Structure 1
C-alpha cells in the first residue's frame, strides 16, 4: 500500500496502517471523552478559587481560575511596623503561590483527559512546548 504526501510516494505496510488506525481510533475516543466530559470539567475549572495566606499571616489573597486576584485582605497589624515594600512583596509572593495552586488543581481536574505536562504547558502559555508535544503526537511519538 502506498500514499502520496507532498508529491512523494511512501511505502506503507500493513503494520504501519494498523498503527495509524489504532492512533486514529485513540484520537477519536479521546475527542469523544472531551466532548462528553469537557463542558463539565470546564465549568469546574472556571469555579476554582484558592485562598492563600502570607508566611507572616498578615496577608490573605484569593485568586480565581486564571490566577486573577479575586480578594485581598490585609491584617491591620501591618500598620504597627509600616513597610510598604515588604507588604507589596508579601502580596506578590502570596498571589504567585495561590496562582500556582490554581494551576495544579486545574491540571488535576483535566488529568483524565489531558496529560499533566500538556495541560501545564497550556496554562503557562508555553506555545513552543504545546506545539512540540502536538508535533510528537502527530508523528506517533508519545
Structure 2
C-alpha cells in the first residue's frame, strides 16, 4: 500500500485480487467441480427402514422405494410425513455434499447464503470484504 493510499482503497484492491483469484480457480477447476457437483446423489432411509429416498444435487427426487411392509399399517398421513422427512434429510445431505465439493472456489457460508436466498448476508459479506461493513 502506497503512503498516500487510503485504507478503503487498499481493502477494495485486496477484495478485487481475491475475486480475481476466485475467478481464475473457477476457470481452472470449474468444469470438473461442476461435473462432480451435478453428479451428487444421496440416498436416505427412514428410521423404520420402510422408506428410501434418493435425491440429486438440487434435492430433486430421483427414486422413491417403499418397503411392502408399509401396508401393514395403513396410515397415509404417517407415510406421507415419513416420505417428506426422509426426502428433506436427503436433500440437506446433498446440499452439504455440493457445498463441500465447491468449497475450494466458493466459501461454504457464502454458498449457503446464496442457496437460502439470504440477500442480507450476501450483501453484508460483500460490504465487509470491501471494508465498508454495515
Equivalent position of 1:126 in the other structure: 118
Deviates more, 1:19-28 or 1:107-116: 19-28
Q: 1:90-133 CA distances to partner (integer Å, 9 max, x unpaired)?
A: 00000000000011101101111111110111222323322332
Distance in 1 separating the partners of 2:76 and 2:17: 58
Equivalent position of 1:9 in the other structure: none
Equivalent position of 1:117 in the other structure: 109
TM value normalised by structure 1:
0.81
Distance in 2 separating the partners of 1:25 and 1:129: 21
Q: 1:8-35 CA distances to partner (integer Å, 9 max, x unpaired)?
A: xxxx933635544333322211211111
Q: Give the structure, 1 or 2, with the largest relative contact order (CA under 8 Å, sep 6 or more).
A: 2
Structure 2 counterparts to residues 43-82 of structure 1, below 5 A: 43-82=35-74
Equivalent position of 1:3 in the other structure: none
TM value normalised by structure 2:
0.86
Q: 1:59 to 1:114 in 2, by over 3 A?
A: same
Distance in 1 separating the partners of 2:64 and 2:55: 9
Q: 1:15 to 1:75 in 2, by over 3 A?
A: same
Aligned residues: 130
Distance in 2 separating the partners of 1:127 and 1:72: 34
Gaps of at least 5 residues in structure 2 are: none
Distance in 2 separating the partners of 1:21 and 1:118: 20
